[in-house]
A and B are shown apart, each in its own frame.
Chain A
Amino acid sequence: MSSVTDADPADWRATARRRLTRARDFVDETDRSALAAVSIGSLALLATLVGFLTMSPLTVVPFAAFVVAVGYGWLRHQALTAHAVTLAMTASTILILGLITVYIFLEAWPVFEYASVEVLGVSVPGLRLFTETLWSPVSEPIGYSLVPMIHGTVMVTVIATAVAGPLGVAAALFVSEIAPPTVRELVKPGIEILAGIPSIVYGFIGFTIISPWASDQFALNGQGTYLFVGMVVGLMALPTVVSVAEDALNSVPESMKSGSLALGTTDWQTMTTITFPAAFSGVSAAVLLGVGRAIGETMAATVMLRNSPALPEPLYNAFYGYETLTSLIAARYGTAHGLQFNALFAAGVVLFVTVLFLSVGSQLVEKRMRRELGGEE
């Protein structure tokens, strides 16, 4: 698989030549009208893209041309058109997804530039976003520090993971290894359905029931605590952790479990010393995914927190809740202008990069597990 990319330059050149020959053969062999349809379609699509990016009102013209070209091609040369259209769709998909990534970074850039610091003669953009602690976009002194929000996100995520991680893994063990078949048939889809409860529903219950209750029970000043936001977010991430961890545990071959049981071990011993270690990568991938969900959770945090960026005193005080990265964006996008608006994108970049990192990490970890278990992959 990797041989193609790791090959030396000579090989690479040969490959390129082969590709070129193949392309020429393809052009020679294919019907002229089909080629025309495909080329007109591609050009039109490209023009549509350019038009859209430049906000031209004429964008609709090339788009119509594209539709006509595809329609003609579909009727006359279906196989070739299908190939071309799916290729175009792949390109568009990748383009859209790439566009999102690039665009967020571009929009965040001004504030990174503003907050750059010289370190040992090298200008490090955005450093002050993470070294200062003041968020004050309007009144002097101006500061765009993301530290209070990162602190809030970390607090919420840590608490949420403490809830969702152990409980979710234990529940996954239950569903995959312990539950009798009838219970499993009920609990498994049940947990999947519960993964779908919209976050605003949790937020609404948190806002109307839990926050006032907590503020009353613990004699707090005002409402909004990282502790209860974390617990609610943990509850939301729980079904994700259970589902993914359960898949991982299920992928441990039955022969391995039987092998252990046939030696006279209890189900619990087999679970803890064979099944769980074998599925460990997959289970940790599940927890990582849950962490990702918790970091990106917006609505529950927005409606339950105080929405005033600051650091609590002392730092570990979970009975106070100010702001997370997500709630900052949700609460301020409408009133933000200039650098503050870019700062929201900076928060988006931090979220995006963190979650992407977690996601890629969990995928690599999961791949490793499949390889170790000798399954296909």
Chain B
Amino acid sequence: MSETKSTIQTESNPDRPVSTTTGETEEEVRSEWREYAFDGEPKLSVENLDVYYGDDHALRDVSIDIPEESVTALIGPSGCGKSTFLRCLNRMNDRIKSARVDGSVEVDGEEIYQDGTNLVELRKRVGMVFQNPNPFPKSIRDNVSYGPRKHGDIDTGVLAGLLGRSNEEREAELVERSLKQAALWDEVDDRLDDNAMGLSGGQQQRLCIARCLAVDPEVILMDEPASALDPIATAKIEDLIDELAQEYTVVIVTHNMQQAARISDQTAVFLTGGNLVEYGETDQVFENPESQRVEDYITGKFG
């Protein structure tokens, strides 16, 4: 385990995935993992998902069911397609012009890859936190209330003020609640009108989480949210994820296996070539993996 800790982890750019060949046929890989069964309806259900970037086959025939109100960690080496997979769940892959997606992704039993999918509604339900903190160059308050404003739930504009429809209390309440949920309130409550660009990296990332929570999503996708942060900020984010799992379905991509082991309920392991190799309860996957290759990866023999 200690070897992996010290390796320098470079994240592949999701726009230009690294093409890798496994040297094994897909059949061999598929046969290695068993179904993971859980009680209740899955929140997200993915079936036979393939993603191509141009000629690159970035994700191969992935099927996975993700239960509600839990933390699911996606781990694997660089370029294994875990970020790509995550971006399929709220169709952010649509931003990449060369990407092509085959297969099915269902949110609460509704297929999201079909004509007539309301992307606005989808992304309201399935929120996302990115690898690098990306606050808007606006005040902290405006960052948090950005989503609800755009969805018409909050309006504090001049016109709304004139017409007496301004709902500033509601905004204040929402901002406070979201920032508290994201464990940032105590650090910024006296400077909500400051530009968010002036916050530290860890604070910015928690602001991005607060921004996501303000829209009241059901699922939160996190793409290595702590990879750009120092250990203290990382610990804060991890505690936060633990809290969030009470109410939300969290799917988190991470490089860091210790982190996955600490925070997740289920773990899915992607290995090179965009294959999902193993999926199950976190303890099971880490302590008694089905696949020899997953064991090798987890014990740091490669990766």
Contacts and interface: CB of A to CB of B under 8 A. Distances in A.
Interface of A: 181, 253-266, 269, 273-274, 277-278, 372-374
A259 B95 contact: no
20 contacts: A253-B134, A255-B132, A256-B137, A257-B95, A258-B130, A258-B134, A259-B130, A260-B136, A261-B95, A263-B123, A263-B127, A263-B146, A263-B150, A264-B121, A264-B122, A266-B120, A273-B150, A277-B137, A372-B197, A374-B197
A259 B208 CA distance: 9
A263 B95 contact: no
B128 interface: yes
Contacts of B90: 262
B132 A258 contact: no
Nearest to B214: A263
Contacts, number: 68
A269 B150 contact: yes
Nearest to A265: B150
B251 to A, nearest CB: 13
Nearest to B129: A262
A255 B120 contact: no
A274 B136 contact: yes
Nearest to B147: A263
A259 B127 CA distance: 10
B112 interface: no
Interface of B: 90, 92, 95, 97, 119-124, 127-128, 130, 132, 134-137, 146-147, 150-151, 197, 208, 211-212, 215
Nearest to A262: B128
A136 to B, nearest CB: 52
A259 B120 CA distance: 13
A259 B90 CA distance: 12
Contacts of A261: 92, 95, 123
A181 B150 contact: no
A253 B123 CA distance: 20
The 8 closest A-B pairs by CB, nearest first: A264-B124, A264-B123, A262-B128, A263-B147, A255-B134, A259-B134, A265-B150, A264-B120
A172 to B, nearest CB: 19
Q: Which of A181, A260, A372, A374 has the most CB of B within 10 A?
A: A260
A373 B134 CA distance: 11
A281 B132 CA distance: 25
Contacts of B123: 261-264
Given A263-B123, A264-B150, 10 more contacts: A255-B132, A261-B95, A261-B123, A262-B90, A262-B92, A263-B124, A263-B150, A264-B120, A264-B122, A374-B197
A266 B149 CA distance: 12
B137 A278 contact: yes
Nearest to B122: A264
A372 B151 contact: no
A256 B130 CA distance: 10
